[in-house]
Amino acid sequence: MNVLVVGGTGFLGGAVADAALKAGHRVAIFTRGQTINPALDAGFETIVGDRHQDLSALRGRSFDLVVDTCAFAPDAVASLLDALSPAIGRYALVTSASVYAGFAEPGLTEQAPTSRATPEQLGLARSLPLERRSSAASYGTAYGPLKRECELVAIERLGDRALILRSGLLVGAGDYTDRLTYWVRRVDGGGSIPAPGDPQRLVQLIDVRDAARFIVEGAGRGLGGVFNLTGRPLPMSALLDSCRQVAGSDARFVWCSDEAVLAAGLEPWSEVPLWLPHADEAFRHFLEIDTEQAFAHGLHTRPLDETLETILAWDRTRRATPLKAGMPPEKEAALLAAVEADAAV
């Protein structure tokens, strides 16, 4: 296939490009040139442009598969398809599990209700400065509804040629969110570590390489439709224990109630990655969506230890780089002190 990856090679785009090259496909990257992974082997064509203001380099080009990793608003999908149509075979659009209307129940399938963007949210997307339109953080609570609008444009324009991938938490070397990377680094550091909430609380993630392989292989088989794309849930305690085993760490986990974590002033998800308070009904089962359709159509996920080993090896080369997520040391110390004081009473 002739494959076009939209969005650079910094993380997911790089994994898709690598998977496509290894499968023997011809690969081109459409990028502003800001997120190129120098560690990725050469072998792909680089097409420089900006999806928000200059798509001219794509006009007249023909691709069997376009993988769009960075569409945050429906206008971005429409303009890309305008530039490529009709010379496009299959369009794989990576969106997010955040499109769902709520997570009060576990096991959401692809048929679960989704959120639509309001006129105000659509207006926000159109009014953002160009330099902010490629950052998920710019969209705030509109992120999920706008991703759903992206899906609808693709489905309306391409029908079964659209492959919609509602991604869960993507992890691996190069992850710019640092969510799982925080836990890998912190456990590698050893000592007493506050662990949030119920040890049996389920979490869910997928190695970016497994997600990329599913996209490329699925598209090659003519796969279309909507798929939840993440791994099967596992207990948070199992994840942390695996981090400890892979690192050979002496880490000791001090399990803290949701109430204790909140009382320490820690922000869910950003300061305590992979944790959302159980009392938050809207997101109670955010990391427990159903993935059986993807597994039935060829998704394979590697052992967790393999993913953690890759992250650990990569992160050990960048310890001078501050993480974008994780507990500030002073808040971690305060939480530990509070929990241990309660235990001593």
> Quick one: pLDDT at residue 345?
66
Per residue in 196-236, pLDDT (tens digit) is 999 999 999 999 999 999 999 999 999 999 999 999 999 99
In this prediction, residues 222-251 reach a mean pLDDT of 98
Residue of 77, 6, 79, 87 lying closest to 47 (CA atoms): 6
Q: What is the residue-averaged pLDDT of the chain?
A: 95
Neighbouring CB atoms inside 10 A of 204's CB total 21
Torsion angle of the four alpha carbons 29, 32, 36, 42, in this order, in degrees rounded to the nearest 10: 40
Specify the pLDDT at position 101: 97
Task: Examine the pLDDT at 153 and tell me if it is beyond 80.
Answer: yes
User: What is the C-alpha separation between 217 and 236, in angstroms, rounded?
Assistant: 30
pTM beyond 0.75: the answer is yes
Give one word for 197, left, alpha or beta, with left for phi > 0 and alpha for psi -120 to 50.
left
pLDDT tens digits, one per residue of 65-90: 999 999 999 999 999 999 998 889 99
Per-residue model confidence as pLDDT tens digits over 124-135: 999 999 989 988
Supply the pLDDT for residue 86: 82
Tokens found for residue 301: 């996920």
pLDDT confidence tier of residue 342, bands split at 50, 70 and 90: confident
Tell me what pLDDT residue 285 has: 96
Cα separation, 6 vs 44, in Å, equals 13
Helices (H), the chain: 12-22, 74-84, 119-127, 143-158, 179-189, 208-220, 236-247, 258-263, 292-296, 304-315, 329-344
Q: What is the pLDDT of residue 340?
A: 87
The answer to whether the bond into 38 is cis (omega within 30° of 0) is no
Q: Compare 36 and 264 and report the one with higher pLDDT.
A: 264
Whole-number Å distance between alpha carbons of 84 and 136: 24
Give pLDDT, residue 39. Answer: 59
- pLDDT at 313 (0 to 100): 98
pLDDT band at 117 (very low <50, low <70, confident <90, very high): very high
